[in-house]
């Protein structure tokens, strides 16, 4: 008899039901090994287009191609079994029309096996969000600081620190929720506004630089691990992996230069030599 362990993966509706419940935990993941490490601890993993900056050295997320998102999405889905995997739609893959957005989002869902996609934009994307959700694609919204609009905004600018900005952002939040998104990321936003939106809309708000008032939190994994050279104010570094990597590389360099590495325990000997050495040690009892 074969015993099969089945782990049920969390779905977009599972996340939607967490509104006002236990805070939703999420992080970005870009490859299989980290996905495996995170899987037991997060409710969803985002294959964020921030991977363009973090993994590929782009200045912004604008140049990220759809194919890159699909490749990283596939790796993260392969590396995980329990958490919902959400894949970001990159700049240029969804804005032109709802039909083009559907074609590209369907490709992402089919080719990666992820459970949802995320796209940036409020009111202006509501028609597209409705089009996708009505056709079977769960959508996570993303409003406030939307990094793909960096060239229009003139930088990565925190939103809603002046009350005059609130009305437009409130309209964005209710448009995204009304169009059927199952959750919405609030990025780089004043606490008072994030709290207000979280009360106003019926779907979970996931904060990144939007205070503890949101229904859940997300951070870029490399930022919270202390691996990124610079991080924004809202990031807490829960570890210092960057300096730990540097120390390890220095120790490796030293060991190679001094011929201390590889040692015997890392070296393959000839089979006969190994068996003769074993026999000899059995005879001598050493």
Which residues of the shown chain bind ligand KIV in the complex (CB under 6 A)? 28, 46, 48-50, 88, 142, 185, 187, 208, 218, 220
Looking at the Cβ atoms of 48 and 115, the one nearer to ligand KIV is 48
CA dihedral 100, 197, 189, 109 (to 10 degrees): -30
CB of 238 to ligand KIV, least distance (A): 16
Q: Establish whether 187 is a catalytic residue.
A: yes
Looking at the Cβ atoms of 98 and 141, the one nearer to ligand KIV is 141
CB of 49 to ligand KIV, least distance (A): 5
CB of 198 to ligand KIV, least distance (A): 16
Looking at the Cβ atoms of 166 and 234, the one nearer to ligand KIV is 234
Looking at the Cβ atoms of 134 and 234, the one nearer to ligand KIV is 234
List Cβ neighbours of 152 (8 Å cut-off, separation of 6 or more).
none
Q: Which of the following is catalytic: 22, 120, 127, 187?
A: 187
Minimal CB distance to ligand KIV: which residue? 48
Please list the active-site residues.
187
């Amino acid at each position: 008899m074969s015993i099969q362990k089945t782990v049920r993966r969390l779905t977009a509706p599972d996340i939607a039901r967490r509104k006002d419940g236990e805070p939703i935990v999420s992080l970005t993941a870009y490859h299989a090994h980290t996905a495996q490490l995170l899987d037991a601890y997060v409710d969803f993993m985002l294959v964020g287009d921030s991977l363009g900056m973090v993994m590929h050295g782009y200045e912004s997320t604008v140049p990220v191609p759809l194919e890159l998102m699909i490749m990283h999405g596939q790796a993260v889905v392969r590396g995980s079994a329990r958490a919902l995997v959400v894949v970001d739609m990159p700049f240029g893959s969804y804005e032109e029309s709802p039909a083009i957005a559907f074609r590209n989002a369907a490709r992402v869902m089919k080719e990666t096996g992820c459970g949802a996609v995320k796209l940036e934009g409020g009111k202006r994307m509501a028609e597209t969000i409705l089009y996708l959700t009505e056709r079977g694609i769960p959508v996570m919204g993303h409003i406030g600081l939307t990094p793909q609009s960096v060239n229009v905004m003139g930088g990565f600018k925190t939103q809603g620190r002046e009350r005059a900005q609130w009305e437009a952002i409130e309209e964005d939040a209710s448009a995204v929720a009304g169009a059927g998104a199952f959750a919405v990321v609030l990025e780089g936003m004043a606490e008072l506004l994030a709290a207000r939106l979280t009360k106003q809309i019926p779907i979970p708000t996931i904060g990144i630089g939007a205070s503890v008032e949101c229904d859940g939190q997300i951070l870029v994994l490399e930022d919270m691990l202390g691996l990124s050279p610079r991080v924004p104010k809202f990031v807490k570094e829960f570890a210092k992996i960057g300096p730990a990597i540097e120390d390890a590389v220095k120790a490796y360099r030293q060991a190679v230069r001094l011929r201390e590495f590889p040692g015997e325990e890392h070296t393959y000997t000839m089979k006969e030599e190994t068996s003769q050495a074993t026999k000899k040690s059995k005879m001598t009892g050493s």
